[in-house]
A and B are shown apart, each in its own frame.
Chain A
Amino acid sequence: MSDATEIAKPRASVFAGLRLTWTATIAGSVLLFWLVLALFGPWIAPHGEAEIISGTTFAPVGEGGLLGTDKLGRDVFSRLIYGVRTTLLLALITTVISFAFGVTLGFAAANLKGWFDIVVSRIVEAFMAFPSTLLALVVIGAFGTSITVLVLTVGLVLSTSVFRVSRALGYDIGVMDFVEAARARGEGTWWILTREILPNSMAPLIAEFGLRFTFSILFLSGLSFLGLGVQEPAADWGLMVQENVGGLFLGSSAALIPAACIASLTVSMNLLVDWFQQRQQGETVLEKIDQ
């Protein structure tokens, strides 16, 4: 287009601008639902997190609490509501940690190149070659099961893939002409990283954030299930599955409900990331057409 002036039209509404697909709408609603529960949980939950409400353990759905009781007679419904807080918060913290590590090192490696890049890349590869659960088992085994150790370990494990994505982005964007132009002007490394490269890596990094967040939920739940994660009496979905797995044979759904919740969270997050990536891709393809 020789005169591409009309691209920036005001959008009809925020939602029209987002161009939500129906999968994205459902996934978004599910996530929003869990988020609201996490924020207002203590005021919504009918019972306390560790409160024993019934003498009957593994009470079925509808009897003694909305969703039954667990192995100690606690209210599954209330624990579920408290659990979403722990699960989401821990996943958020670990993902943020992994991004702080991964993006800094990845961009630094792409920009500094040379021995720094080689050394960091080899270390990261060594970490990746190690099964992540095994790694976590070793570290947590050595340092004990505290929340700090847990969060740092998972953050570290996640940061390896964030590093690889950021390093690739840093390399790709780092050779583009506008970065060269900044270099030719005499700009320092800090400016180039924060003003030229980072803003242009946002879209893929956001998608990566979503994926790492999902992975973190699964990983943390897995660790909790192994007894290495969140400890009782705190509520956590992974932990709830582990606690109540024995109830499965008694016909209790106390283990299945948190499992389904984990699935709903991760599937929704993945759908949303898919939507975001497709939308991003759609835009770039269209930008090419407009030339």
Chain B
Amino acid sequence: MNDILTIKNLRVEGRPPGGSYVPIVKGVSLNVAKGEVLALIGESGSGKSTISLASMGFARPGCRIAGGEIWLNGRDIMKLSPHERHALRGDEVSYVAQSAAASFNPALRIGKQVIEAPLWHGAGDAATLTATAVDLYRKLDLPNPDTVGDKFPHQVSGGQLQRLMAAMAMSCGPDLLILDEPTTALDVTTQIEVLKAFKDIIRDQGTAAIYVTHDLAVVAQVADRILVLKNGEMVEEGPTAQILNDPKHEYTRSLMDAVRPAPHLVDHVDGSAAQAPVISARNITAGYGALTILSDVSVDVPAASVVGVIGESGCGKSTLARVVAGLTPLREGEIKLDGKVAAPGVKDRPRDTLKDCQIVFQMADTALNPRQRIGDILGRPLEFYQGLKGRARLDKVGELLELVDLPRSFASRFPGELSGGQKQRINLARALAADPKVILCDEVTSALDTVVAAGVIELLKSLKDKLGVAYMFISHDLSTVASFADEVVVLYAGRVVEKGPSKAVFSPPFHPYTKLLLSSVPEMRQGWLEGVADTGEAKAASAGSVIIGAKGCPFANRCTHVIAGTCDRVTPPLRDLPGELSVACHLDTDALPST
């Protein structure tokens, strides 16, 4: 047997605030062989991360390993002293967390942090270790491998930092590598380079790996075997191909069904007949302090329709929503809400204007005041906008709860007593309490499981039909936008690069950036990654990073079609194409990417 890790009958317990210990992981057994990648999949709360931490003999504060054996390299690590166990970490096992940014110390140079663990374990002197690290940077395809170690964490992009994190994990030559959702926080375009780098390095070094994720398409690319978890119990285990193509268990099948089809394959909504716009943003320029994020952005949201806004992280999607809501004042341009010009700042807008346009935030957790009961959270806008009090207010809260498919009894709960999906429904209900004409939905499903997210989207659809409310739906999930939005706006580095009816945007001809976005959405097909990572587009895209406020076309440094001398000098204006589509690109219409 060449198993690096064997876990037998692992049980982990956790203690909720003020309660007693409850089981989180209920008797899970697994093993990982040398050079093998085992994926742990399941919804949030299924115990994926808990198991991966336990394989280092570690439990989070408030949790404890209650039973079972954890054999690493032929030793039961539960029998080791805490000190011996500590010595394993960063030597025989290493861990890559979801957010690389949080794992690096911003004040130290990257190279120094990469070699810290092996140095501590006495694996060699700084010079040899640095040489090994540079070698790793090269294998991970990092730009300028010789000098990247001298940079500070904030000087590299998110995707690069995540790869550097992998370098840090690999620097001590571990036998077992644990990757906990290492690409979840990344954009699809960045995800490809990182996945490819991880896969290659694991193969190259023959490391055993545990890969934790909820994204099945990603699993299809990297895993050899898959373990499906539900509520801390093992549901099914098998080789990747079998689990993906021929799942035995009901639950696995339901997970597969929740995977959304690729954006160009979904049924598009047919744009409803042109309505008067409820939001009309004209030539918006806005930013924070000296920084200009949005330049010359124009977006219309017709009444009772859905306008999707897509683009990479940091391209200004949230900023756009904040500007429309008046939270971030615009510098230039004009916003009309329901035909009336709205003041730039929220303080100067009358209540009637405020009422018409509500915003729902990305993180359901932080958008609800943890010290207020649901009844008060929903009751406040009722009182504030409509002057409802006492009985009337109470009744309306109950109606709102029913509207978002929650029981009336939830009114007496605190947000901490709800699940993520339920919180997001409360968020929506709070927006609905104002009886708005349009709701700005900023990534309302991004923090949710696929299954739960699908429920929220269904709810949004039914509310639209029932109440005639319009949405500005911001998301980086192209499949959802493709199936939900009537119209789509593609943002890149604070500029609109393409917009039009959903169908037109997601079918050729494409703007080169839209094309890149679409081809980066992982498919549930083994081998997809290898195919896509080698295309010229992916290579060009990973070579550069987003520059906000660049001269000329913002995409010029990552575009394969770049026209030297033109693209880097002149900003392409949005020009109209047939079928209500607008594209900002210097290429002739028939030269635009069309596959």
A-contact bits for B431-461, CB 8 A (1 contact / 0 none):
0001000000000000001001000000000
B124, CB-defined interface residue at 8 Å:
no
Instruction: Evaluate contact between B45 and A178: CB separation under 8 angstroms.
Output: no
Which residue in B368, B417, B430 is a CB contact (below 8 Å) of A7?
B417
- Are A178 and B369 in contact (CB-based, < 8 A)? yes
A62 lies within 8 A of chain B by Cβ: no
Q: Which of B252-270 contact A (CB under 8 A)?
A: none
Q: Which of the residues A9, A187, A289 comes within 8 Å of B63, measured between beta carbons?
A: A289
Q: Kindly identify, within residues 171 to 225 of chain A, every residue whose CB is under 8 Å from any CB belonging to chain B.
A: 176-178, 180-187, 195-196, 199-200, 202
B381 at interface by CB-CB < 8 Å: yes
Interface pair B325/A282, CB less than 8 Å apart: no
- 7-47 of chain B: CB within 8 A of chain A: 14-19, 43-45
Residue in chain B with minimal CB distance to A290: B16
* With A186-B384, A200-B371, A291-B420: A286-B413 Cβ-Cβ less than 8 Å: no
Of B362, B371, B381, B417, the contact of A4 (CB 8 Å cutoff): B417
Shortest Cβ distance from residue B251 to the other chain A in the assembled complex, whole angstroms? 13
Bound complex: CA A19 to CA B17 (Å): 10
B584 at the interface (CB under 8 A from A): no
CB distance from B161 to the nearest CB of A (A): 22
**CB within 8 Å of A: which B373-405 residues:** 380-381, 384
Structural contact, A7 and B416, CB atoms closer than 8 A? yes
* Cα A183 to Cα B371 with chains together (Å): 17
B15, A178: Cβ atoms under 8 Å? Answer: no
Which segment of B162-170, B346-354, B471-479 sits at the interface? Answer: B346-354
Q: Do A181 and B367 touch (CB < 8 A)?
A: yes
- With an 8 A cutoff between CB atoms, is A8 at the interface? yes
A290 → chain B closest CB, angstroms: 6
Q: Is the CB of A4 within 8 A of B419?
A: yes
Out of B17, B44, B354, B413, name the residue touching A283 (CB < 8 Å).
B17
Least CB distance from B340 to A in Å reads: 16
Chain A interface size, as a band, is 35 or more
Is B118 located at the chain interface by the 8 A CB criterion? no
Known: A2-B44, A186-B354. A200 touches B19 (CB 8 A): no
Interface-centre pick from A19, A178, A199 (highest chain B CB count, 10 A): A178
Pick the residue among A7, A19, A181, A186 that contacts B16 (CB under 8 A). Answer: A7
Assess whether B585 is interfacial by the CB under 8 Å rule: no
Do B417 and A8 have beta carbons less than 8 Å apart? yes
Contact with B along A1-44 (1 / 0, CB 8 A): 11111111101000001010000000000000000000000000
Is A285 an interface residue, CB under 8 A from the partner?
yes
A185–B366 touching, CB < 8 Å:
no
Q: Are B19 and A196 in contact (CB under 8 A)?
A: no
Q: For chain A, what secondary structure do more than half of its interface residues adopt (helix, strand, loop), or is it mixed?
A: helix
Q: How far is the CB of A18 from chain B (nearest CB, A)?
A: 9
**B17 and A7 within 8 A (CB):** yes
Q: Are A285 and B62 interface neighbours, CB within 8 A?
A: yes
CB-CB under 8 A from B540, the residues of chain A are none
Residue contact A180 to B327, C-beta cutoff 8 Å: yes
Contact of A187 among B60, B384, B420 (CB under 8 A): B384
In the complex, which of the residues B17, B430, B434 has the most CB atoms of chain A within 10 Å of its own CB atom? B17
Q: Which residues of B contact A9 (CB under 8 A)?
A: 18-19
Cα–Cα, bound, A183→B45 (Å)? 32
**Given known contacts A1-B45, A1-B419, A4-B418, is B361 in contact with A180 (CB within 8 Å)?**
yes
CB of B45 within 8 A of CB of A287, answer no
* Chain B positions within 8 Å of A176 at CB level: 366
Distance (whole angstroms) from the CB of A181 to the closest CB of chain B: 6
Is there an interface contact between B351 and A181, defined as CB atoms closer than 8 Å? no
User: Least Cβ distance of A108 to chain B in Å?
Assistant: 17
Q: A180-B361, A286-B15 are in contact. Are A2 and B449 (CB under 8 A)?
A: yes
Interface size on B, residues (CB 8 A): 49
Closest CB in chain A relative to B398 CB, distance in Å? 19
Chain B residues lying within 8 Å of A19, measured Cβ to Cβ, are 18
Q: Once the chains bind, are A282 and B346 in contact (CB under 8 Å)?
A: no
Decide if A286 touches B417 in the complex (CB within 8 Å). no
- Do A200 and B370 form a contact, CB below 8 Å, given A7-B17, A17-B18, A180-B327? yes
B45 — which chain A residues lie within 8 A by C-beta? 1-2, 290-291
Asked if A196 and B61 sit within 8 Å, CB to CB, the answer is: no
Residues in A neighbouring B380, C-beta threshold 8 A: 185
Q: Measured between C-beta atoms, what is the minimum distance from A16 to chain B in Å?
A: 9
Judged by a CB distance under 8 angstroms, whether B358 is at the interface is yes
Nearest CB on B from A182, distance (A): 8
A178 contacts across to B, CB distance below 8 A:
366-370
- Judge whether B346 and A289 touch: CB under 8 Å: no
Question: Which residue of chain A lies nearest to B347 when distances are taken between CB atoms in the complex?
Answer: A186
Contact A181 B361 (CB under 8 A): yes
The answer to whether the Cβ of B359 comes within 8 Å of any Cβ in the partner chain is yes
**B186 at the binding interface (Cβ < 8 Å):** no
Min CB gap A21→B, angstroms: 15
Per the bound structure, the CA–CA distance linking A112 and B349 in Å amounts to: 19
**Closest chain A CB from B255 CB (angstroms):** 13
Return the chain A residue nearest B368 by Cβ. Answer: A178
| Closest residue of A by beta carbon distance from B451 | A2
* Interface flag for B365 (CB, 8 Å): yes
Question: In the complex, which residues of chain A have a beta carbon less than 8 angstroms from the beta carbon of B363?
Answer: 177
Contact assessment for B326 and A287 in the assembled complex, using a CB-CB cutoff below 8 Å: no
Q: Which residues of A contact B346 (CB under 8 A)?
A: 183-184, 186
Residues of A within 8 Å of B420, CB to CB, are 2, 291
Alpha-carbon distance A180/B358, docked complex (angstroms): 12
Whether B359 and A181, one on each chain, are in contact in the complex, defined by CB atoms closer than 8 angstroms, is yes
Nearest Cβ in chain B — how far from A178, in angstroms?
4
Task: Report whether B361 and A177 are in contact in the complex, using a CB–CB cutoff of 8 Å.
Answer: yes
Once bound together, how far apart are the Cα atoms of A290 and B62, in whole Å?
10
Q: What residues of chain B lie closer than 8 Å to A5, measured between beta carbons?
A: 417, 419
Give Cα A243 to B529, complex, Å. 83
| Least distance between A173 CB and chain B CB atoms (Å) | 10
Closest to B44 in A: A291
A19 to chain B, nearest CB (A): 7
Is A291 touching B17 in the complex (CB atoms < 8 A)?
no
Closest to B420 in A: A291
Whole-angstrom distance between the Cβ of A44 and the nearest chain B Cβ: 37
Nearest opposing residue in chain B for A199, CB measure: B371
**Measured between alpha carbons, how far is A177 from B430 in the docked complex, in Å?**
13
Cα distance A182–B43 in the bound complex, in angstroms: 31
CB distance from A177 to the nearest CB of B (A): 4
CA gap between A93 and B404 in the complex, in Å: 49
Flag whether B494 is at the interface (Cβ < 8 A). Answer: no
Residue B421 is within 8 A (CB to CB) of chain A in the complex: yes
Q: Are B349 and A186 in contact (CB under 8 A)?
A: yes
State which of A177, A285, A286 has its C-beta within 8 Å of the C-beta of B366: A177
Enumerate chain A residues within 8 angstroms of B434, measured Cβ to Cβ: 185
Residue in B18, B326, B369 whose beta carbon sits within 8 Å of that of A184 in the complex:
B326
A-B contact pairs, 5 of them (CB 8 A): A177-B366, A184-B354, A184-B358, A185-B381, A195-B369
Q: Which 9 A-B pairs have the closest CB atoms?
A: A199-B371, A177-B367, A1-B45, A283-B17, A286-B62, A177-B361, A177-B366, A178-B369, A186-B354
Known: A4-B417, A287-B416, A289-B14. 20 other contacts (CB 8 A): A1-B45, A3-B419, A9-B18, A9-B19, A178-B369, A180-B361, A181-B367, A181-B430, A184-B325, A184-B326, A185-B384, A185-B434, A186-B346, A186-B347, A186-B351, A195-B372, A286-B16, A286-B17, A289-B63, A290-B45
